[in-house]
Structure 1
Amino acid sequence: MNFEPLSSFIDRITSWRIPWAEVLVMYRNEPVFRYRNGYANLEEQTPIDDGRIINLYSLTKIMTCTAALQLLEKGAFLLNDRLSDYLPEYTEMNVKKRLPGGELILEKAVHPITVRDLFTMSAGFSYDLGLPSIREAVKHTGGKMPTRAIAEALAKEPLQFEPGTRWNYSLCHDVLAALVEAVDGRRFGTYIREEITRPLGMDDTGFDLPDGQQSRLAPQYEYSDELGKPVRKDGNGFRLGTEYESGGAGLLSTVSDYAQFLNALTNQGTSPDGVRILSPASVELMRTEQLTESMRGDFSWEQLKGYSYGLGVRTHISKARSGSLSPLGEFGWSGAAGCLAIIDPASQLTVMYAQHMLNNQEPFVHPRLRNIVYACL
């Protein structure tokens, strides 16, 4: 293995637009390469160092779906169950329909939302955090907005389409976190800590930072095309309240911590130390394509050509369309500040890539980084 091209790529992007970047490559459960470059704090020219805590944003979704699959394994629900069996507010839903003349009307939904629809982003939700019901819920809860409240709020809004008929990136996994709370009884963050992060020894992963970890939180930036440089932009805009544990975008973690979780999935659901968080059958189901032929057209992000969608993750289905050097079945996801997870049971490969910049240049960085990793093996 020669990872010089990978370190050169990190150097290239950190001298371009990205303040800092770090990559950790694990092969057969062992770290075989780790490299970082750039400044954690651009203003103070502080080099990026070990143990920096970052917002994972949508990389949270992989853990949320893992948590829900654990409950599936215990018989708490089935994928084809109606969501309203567990969250009664979804018993009757309205759907937006546009008439041939352009008029927008509301009709009763024909199809119920299923648990599967939450996993697969096909429930009919949007990612609009400014919806009237959400604003009212934040006000009603005094700014706390506990996780269960997002499900109650979204149930008051009309759906964008009939459940199960389209793919639309949305707040589905935030509602999935509320489902975990409803069927398990614990707060979502407590469930994550007791069933996943603590057993795996992930001491730096959670929805809130203890005082002793605050100093390790990396500054966050957003690239300004107008100014031609990154500008400071701290905070997580997806956090709707002080008690909101977002299943879609709420976790904070480090490269080392989250790589442990990702590697357990690479290892068919069990860590090298023997901690089992999922069965091999569940990992296989997670990375199995879930989209119908008619839904694939909605999954059209340029950097994900040749990929489809499983249970909360991209999954590689066509090397001809992707141009990716990774094998079919490689899976994972990414985050708004630029993180990337590569999980590959066939190659026994885990990659955790991190940066902390919104407007993250993902279409340029991620496909290139993935190809370079596989070429280095």
Structure 2
Amino acid sequence: MNFEPLAAYLDRITAWRIPWAEVCVMHGDETVFRCRSGFEDLEARTPIGVDRIINLYSMTKIMTCAAGLQLMERGAFLLNDPLSAYLPEYAEMTIRHDVSGSAPALARATRPIRIRDLFAMTAGFTYDLRSPALQEAAQRTGGRMPTRDFAAALAKEPLLFEPGTRWNYSLCHDVLAALVEVVDGRRFGQYVREEITGPLGMDDTGFDLPEAKKGRLVPQYTFNEERNKPVRKDGNGFRLGAEFESGGAGLLSTVDDYIRFLHALTNRGTGANGARILSPAAVELMRTDQLSEPMRADYNWEQLAGYGYGLGVRTHIARSASGLLSPHGEFGWSGAAGCMALIDPESRLTVMYAQHMLNSQEPHVHPRLKNLVYSGLGR
């Protein structure tokens, strides 16, 4: 193995636009490469340190789907169950039809939202965090917006399409977190702590940051195109209230902590410490492509060419389309500030890449990163 080109690449991107970058590569149960480059605080020129805490944003989605799959394994629901059997407010949904030159028309949905639609992003939701119903719920709850209240409010908003007919990146996994609460009885954060992060020994992962750990939260930046440089932009804009445990974008973690979870998925559900969080069959289902052919037109992000979409994860299905060295079956997801998970059971490979910059340059960075990892593995 030789990961010197990967280290050189991190140096290049941190000299280019990204303040800092960190990557950890595991092969089997062993960490075979670890590298950090750049400055966690650009103004103070502070090099990126050990055990720094970041917003995972949408990499939260992988853990939320793992939590949902745990409950499915335990017989709490089936993927084909209607969501309204557990969240009754979703029994009668409307669909918005934009008519040129006039106000949008609403029609009654003829298909139910099924639980599988939450996992697969096919429910018809949007990602509009400022929709009228969500704004009203935030005011009504005094800014708390508990996860269950969020889901009840979202049900008042019209869908974009008939559930199960198209794909749209949306608030599906935030509703899935509410479903976990309703089915299990615990708050979503408590469920995650007691059923996933606790058993895996992940002490630095959660929806809230204790006072003692706030000094480890690294500054967050966004790249300002007009000024041609990163500028400071702290905070998580996806957190709609003090009690909103966002299954779509709410977790904070470290590289060392979150790779324990990712490694458990690489190991088909069992962590390095022997804790089993999912069965091998559930991990296989998670990375099984769920897209119908009509949905592929919606799933068209350039960095995901050659990938399908499983239960909350990208899944590699066509090397001829991606042009990548990743084998078929490699899966994972990424986050708004640029972090990325790579999970590959066949190669016994786990990668956690971290940065903390919105406007993250993902289409440029992530495909190159994958190629460098697989190239280094074979050297």
Query: 1:226 — aligned with what?
Result: 226
Seen in structure 2, the aligned counterparts of structure 1 residues 106 and 354 have a Cα distance that, compared at 3 Å, is: same
Aligned residue identity for 2:95: V
Query: 2:184 — aligned with what?
Result: 184
Alignment of 1:102-117 (within 5 A): 104-117=104-117
Query: 2:81 — aligned with what?
Result: 81
Tell me by how many angstroms 1:149 deviates: 1.2
Tell me by how many angstroms 1:150 deviates: 1.4
| Count of residues in Structure 1 that have an aligned counterpart in Structure 2 | 377
Tell me by how many angstroms 1:186 deviates: 0.2
Aligned residue identity for 2:62: I
Query: 2:286 — aligned with what?
Result: 286
Q: Distance in 2 between matches of 1:267 and 1:342?
A: 13
Aligned residue identity for 2:262: L
Q: Distance in 2 between matches of 1:65 and 1:149?
A: 20
Does residue 72 of the first structure (1) align with residue 72 of the second (2)?
yes
Query: 2:240 — aligned with what?
Result: 240
Query: 1:330 — aligned with what?
Result: 330
Aligned residue identity for 1:25: V
Tell me by how many angstroms 1:98 deviates: 4.1
Tell me by how many angstroms 1:96 deviates: 1.2
Does residue 366 of the first structure (1) align with residue 366 of the second (2)?
yes
Query: 2:215 — aligned with what?
Result: 215
Tell me by how many angstroms 1:272 deviates: 2.0
TM-score w.r.t. length of structure 2 = 0.98
Deviation string for 1:63-107 (max 9, x for gaps)?
A: 000000000000000000000000000010111124588763111
SS at 2:262 equivalent: helix
Does residue 263 of the first structure (1) align with residue 263 of the second (2)?
yes
Does residue 48 of the first structure (1) align with residue 61 of the second (2)?
no
SS at 1:15 equivalent: helix
CA contact (8 A) 2:316 2:329 kept: yes
Tell me by how many angstroms 1:6 deviates: 0.4
Tell me by how many angstroms 1:293 deviates: 0.6
Aligned residue identity for 2:347: S
Q: Distance in 1 between matches of 2:181 and 2:98?
A: 35
Aligned residue identity for 1:250: G
Tell me by how many angstroms 1:336 deviates: 0.1
Query: 2:17 — aligned with what?
Result: 17
CA contact (8 A) 2:177 2:188 kept: yes
Q: Distance in 2 between matches of 1:287 and 1:106?
A: 35
Query: 2:61 — aligned with what?
Result: 61
RMSD, matched Cα: 0.9
Deviation string for 1:98-139 (max 9, x for gaps)?
A: 458876311110000000000000101000000000000000
Alignment of 1:195-214 (within 5 A): 195-214=195-214
Aligned residue identity for 1:30: E
Aligned residue identity for 1:152: A
| Structure 2: segments with no counterpart, 5+ residues | none
Tell me by how many angstroms 1:208 deviates: 0.4
Q: Distance in 2 between matches of 1:201 and 1:218?
A: 22
SS at 1:199 equivalent: coil
Query: 1:159 — aligned with what?
Result: 159
Q: Distance in 2 between matches of 1:269 and 1:102?
A: 51
| Structure 1: segments with no counterpart, 5+ residues | none
Deviation string for 1:2-57 (max 9, x for gaps)?
A: 00000000000000000000000000111000000100101111100100000000
Deviation string for 1:297-334 (max 9, x for gaps)?
A: 11000000000100000000000000110100000000
Alignment of 1:167-178 (within 5 A): 167-178=167-178
Q: Distance in 2 between matches of 1:51 and 1:123?
A: 37
TM-score w.r.t. length of structure 1 = 0.99
Query: 1:147 — aligned with what?
Result: 147
Tell me by how many angstroms 1:274 deviates: 1.0
SS at 1:375 equivalent: helix
Identity value in percent: 70
SS at 1:52 equivalent: coil
Which range moved further: 266-275 or 127-136?
A: 266-275
Query: 2:118 — aligned with what?
Result: 118
Which range moved further: 146-155 or 169-178?
A: 146-155
Aligned residue identity for 2:304: L
Aligned residue identity for 1:72: M
